[in-house]
Amino acid sequence: MTNDTEDVRMRGFSRRTLVSVACRWIDEHCAPQLHEAIPLVSAPGRVLAEDVVSDLDVPPFARSAMDGYAVIAAETNGATSYNPIVFNLVGTSLPGEPFDGEISAGDAVRIMTGAPIPTGADAVVPAEFASEGQNRVELSQPIAPGKNVGRVGEDIESGTVILSAGRRLRPQDIGLMASVGQSTVRVVRAPRVRVVITGSELIEPGEERNEHQIFDANSFILQGLLERDGGSLESLVRTLDSRETIEKAMTGTGADVVLVSGGSSVGAEDFAPRILAEHGELAIHGIAVRPASPTGMGILGGRLVFLLPGNPVSCLCAYDMFAGRAIRQMAGRSAEWTYPKRRLTTASKIVSAIGRVDYCRVRLLENQVEPIAVSGASILSSTTRADGFVVIPESCEGYAPGTEIDVYLYDFSE
């Protein structure tokens, strides 16, 4: 599985690893993350680290499911709107302020939704079948025992597993944990990701630019992607193409994953692969995928390191194909893409080559797709003009017009 780690600078890759092999390497090296306890309010979207067991019945007391009158059900037999039965109105039970007496035959207690059922009562007649007077209430419908009463534990029984480890938490899951009194929850810790942007020509947006400088885009792309995938930015380092500073950024502790953008290929200034090979393991370097072939990955000091091409489209593709797969799994999520997938027809030819995977940006035309014309690895706008992308496998030369294919949409799921 491990490629040779010879110095490929200025000589090109002698062979490239298959995408499937790289993905398998990633899946085998995504060490499960540690857990952490966080407040419930921060937990939507996080992944549960352990089963949640309730130590409480919900509701913890019998409560009314309606606004109305709590009575002994048998006492309502025969009530109709022509012949209402008159009850003594002996008090009120409100949520948090129960009626503190006991009900006898012929008694009724005014009760609100959620209020405790008074001792002795076993049903609640809804307000619409009642007419209240001075210390009395006329009920115009009979009611069955247990009707409109929420019994103890009817939502959750004490001792049951209410949510299982591995679940990605939805808002209602958070509500359910709150309802059993839990104020924190143990979740999979978000992998801490360091982003190292290399390139002597790069400056930060907002800075004064001289003639031969360009603005760094990759740090913004990578930060957006890694946070989408459940990672958390540990630090962002922008550095010149200097071996010392790149080495320092790659070897420093504190992160679980290091993403290096730029200097990943076979140029004289491409230090990152050598640094990774010298300080750790450069497991894979050069992958049969366009436009991200100069991608590398390995392990350094227990951290996963991904060497991503500096060209922004290649960087996006390399992240999505490889680094994102690792980060999602370390965050406890599925390895799979979050992009919505649709089955669509090609409106024009999509060209690829046998032996490599192609990541082809496409535009939607009603229910068809066509490739984006300008698609060089440095043309970032091709990824913003595109509605999504198609992945063409190694075994395929491309698709003729009219072929049904899977399209991944860049869209948010709405």
Rg (CA), the chain: 32
Residue 387 in contact with a copy of itself, rule: CB under 8 A: no
Residue 395 beta carbon to a copy of itself: minimum distance, rounded to whole angstroms: 25
Task: Rule CB under 8 A: say whether 381 interacts with a copy of itself.
Answer: yes
Amino acid at 24: R
Q: Is 32 in the site for a copy of itself (CB under 8 A)?
A: no
What tokens were used for 131? 């007419």
The stretch near a copy of itself (CB under 8 A) out of 79-87, 251-259, 260-268, 398-406 is 260-268
Among 23, 266, 353, 364, binds a copy of itself (CB under 8 A): 266
Q: How far apart are CA 297 and CA 5, in angstroms?
A: 11
Closest to 123 (Cα-Cα) out of 165, 69, 166, 159: 69
Q: Which is nearer to a copy of itself, 223 or 251 (CB)?
A: 223
Distance CA 121, CA 361 (A): 68
Residues 6+ apart with CB under 8 A from 166: 47, 48, 332
Q: Please identify, using beta-carbon distances, which residue of 155 and 394 lies nearer to a copy of itself.
A: 155
List binders of a copy of itself among 189-208 (CB under 8 A): 199-202, 204-206
Strands 149-150 and 161-163: unpaired
Q: Which of residues 267-286 bind a copy of itself (CB under 8 A)?
A: 267-270
C-alpha to C-alpha distances, 340 to 29, 192, 198, 336, 362, nearest whole angstrom: 26, 26, 32, 11, 14
Q: Among residue numbers 311 through 330, which ones bind a copy of itself (CB under 8 A)?
A: 311-312, 316
Window 210-249: residues binding a copy of itself (CB under 8 A): 211-225, 227-228, 240-241
N-to-C CA span, the chain = 40
Number of residues that bind a copy of itself (CB under 8 A): 106
Interface with a copy of itself in residues 94-153 (CB under 8 A): 94-98, 110, 112-116, 127-128, 132, 150
Stretch that binds a copy of itself, among 91-99, 273-281, 351-359, 396-404 (CB under 8 A): 91-99
Residue 285: CA count within 13 A, CB half-sphere: 27
**Both structure tokens of 238:** 């922008």
d(CA 148, CA 153): 15
Site for a copy of itself contains 209 (CB under 8 A)? yes
In the bound complex, what is the minimum distance in angstroms from residue 44's beta carbon to a copy of itself?
Answer: 4
3-class SS of residue 412: coil
Strand partners, 287: 17
Shortest distance in whole angstroms from residue 12 CB to a copy of itself? 4
Cα–Cα distance measured from residue 46 to residue 25, given in angstroms and rounded to the nearest whole number: 25
Mark the segment that binds a copy of itself (CB under 8 A) among 36-44, 78-86, 243-251, 275-283.
Answer: 36-44
Instruction: Check binding of 310 to a copy of itself (CB under 8 A).
Output: yes
